[in-house]
Amino acid sequence: MRVSHTPVRRRALWRDTTHPPLAVSRQTSRRVLYVAWAPFFSGAERALLLTIRALDKTRYTPFVVAGTEGEFASQIRAMGVPCQVIGLRQLDRRRPLGGVVSVASVLTAAVRHRVSLIHSNDMPSFQPGGYAARMLGIPAVTHVRFPDKASGYQWFFRPGFSLALFVSHALMMDALGEAPDVFDHRSAVLHDCVEPQETWSQAQVQQCRDELGLPRDAVVVAMAGQVAEVKGIWDFVSAAQILVARGSEALFAVLGDDLKTGGATRREMEARVEALGLSSRFKFLGFRRDAPRVVQAFDIIAVPSHVEPLGNATLEAMAVGRPVIGSRVGGIPEMVVDAETGLLVPPSSPTTLAEAIERLVHDPLLREQMSRAARARAGTAFGMRAHASALEAYYDNLCG
């Protein structure tokens, strides 16, 4: 962990005289404005939902600015948290108006709610939040959820931040190697958390399988989450093809969709499966809000990602006691303990992936052992309260 423990005091560049600063006492909750670009609903948005849900509201009261109206904003409001939709834009010298309006809108929201800190959920969200925080002289926190090049980090973080929170050690080390001057001592790792789920009975599993159209007695291997090439979807299809050719009776499921492009990649995946003659062995289940619970209807979760800074699909599988076969990339090895809670395989290797799937398909005792270990690890290493407590400690340090 590389973070200074000296509270950050930022000189305000703009001061509002109509709304005096909110006095903070031991009995008063500080106010935090979360800024999330949220062009579609994915792991970053799911992670922020859980963070806000876990937050101790007697200490920190959340308000949210979202870049789009949609699933994320809807779920935030369903939690009873105020959410304002603003068309967020980065500053652009050629078209400066959109960026300036975004900063002004976030600034106005921060002043109206009299916040003590602005927390941007990812790099694309940071410029509006960062400049607003700079103008108000309050701390600016940013999450870093995906790798970039030095020029990208320098561009997104031009306003300057008080603290950068990385979702994995692997991602932080990559960023420090790529742009050490950008992050320096103002960086730390805060793994995302996962919501605990009730353990289903066998009857509940069978009922869910009936609703999903899955056979009760099949071993189901599933991918869950965003359907995108970077998630290794073609490796998953190729591994299924290999196993079917070997005579495996496993069934393959895809829980999720390509929300970024309106389902285009998912439709391409369905077409590839059909062209290979595998349609009878695949089930595409689409996007579901209850995905963290529905994962219990599967036996094995595959996460063959090519790039994965951390990954909610892995955490959600572990939380319900499902072994994960994941690529040895990014933050996946920080979640999956090889041969204990799941199996790790090289990325972009359908043959190795198929062998790992085959091993677990034919060994129910090993699956059960990994199931217990995965659930235990999810609760101890990625619990919601521990996550929120660590975040609140960073907030305390920054706000003084």
Q: Which two tokens stand for residue 326?
A: 């994941």
Residue 13 has pLDDT above 60, yes or no: no
Contact present, 369 and 377 (Cβ < 8 Å): no
Put residue 330 in one of left, alpha, beta given phi > 0 → left and psi -120 to 50 → alpha.
left
Out of 3.40.1160.10, 2.60.120.280, 3.40.50.970, 3.40.50.2000, the CATH code matching 202-381 is 3.40.50.2000
CA distance 110 to 95: 24
Q: Is the dihedral of CA 178, 182, 185, 188 positive or negative?
A: negative
The two domains 2-193+383-399 and 202-381 share their CATH topology (first three levels equal): yes
Residue 159 has pLDDT above 90, yes or no: yes
Pairing of strands 220-224, 300-303: parallel
| 64 exposure class (CB count in 10 Å sphere: 0-12, 13-18, 19+) | buried
- Domains in the chain: boundaries: 2-193+383-399, 202-381
HEC per residue, the chain: CEECCCCCCCCCCCCCCCCCCCCCCCCCCEEEEEEECCCCCCHHHHHHHHHHHHCCCCCEEEEEEECCCCHHHHHHHHCCCCEEECCCCCCCCCCHHHHHHHHHHHHHHHHHHCCCEEEECCHHHHHHHHHHHHHHCCCEEEEECCCCCHHHHHHHCCCCCCEEEECCHHHHHHHHHHCHHHHCCEEEECCCCCCCCCCCCHHHHHHHHHHHCCCCCCCEEEEECCCCHHHCHHHHHHHHHHHHHCCCCCEEEEEECCHHHCCHHHHHHHHHHHHCCCHHHEEEEECCCCHHHHHHHCCEEEECCCCCCCCHHHHHHHHCCCCEEEECCCCHHHHCCECCCEEEECCCCHHHHHHHHHHHHCCHHHHHHHHHHHHHHHHHHCCHHHHHHHHHHHHHHHHC
Confidence label for 96 from pLDDT (cuts 50, 70 and 90): low
At 190-235, the pLDDT tens digits run: 999 999 999 999 999 999 999 999 999 999 999 999 999 999 999 9
**Reported pTM:** 0.90
Q: Report the interhelical angle of 43-54 vs 312-319 (nearest 10°).
A: 50
Q: What is the pLDDT of residue 10?
A: 52
Residue 6 has pLDDT above 90, yes or no: no
Find out if CATH 3.30.470.10 is the number for domain 2-193+383-399.
Answer: no
- Percent of all residues in the chain with a pLDDT value above 90, rounded to a whole number: 88
CA distance 329 to 349: 12
Q: Which two tokens stand for residue 313?
A: 């699909």
255-288 in b/e burial notation, b at 16+ Cβ within 10 A?
bbbbbeeebebbebbbebbeeeeeeebbbbbebe
The residue-averaged pLDDT of 285-307 equals 97
Task: Pick the closest to residue 393 from 185, 165, 193 (CA basis).
Answer: 165
Residue 103 has pLDDT above 80, yes or no: yes
At 347-371, the pLDDT tens digits run: 999 999 999 999 999 999 999 999 9
Contact present, 335 and 258 (Cβ < 8 Å): no
Averaged confidence pLDDT in the chain: 92
CA distance 11 to 20: 16
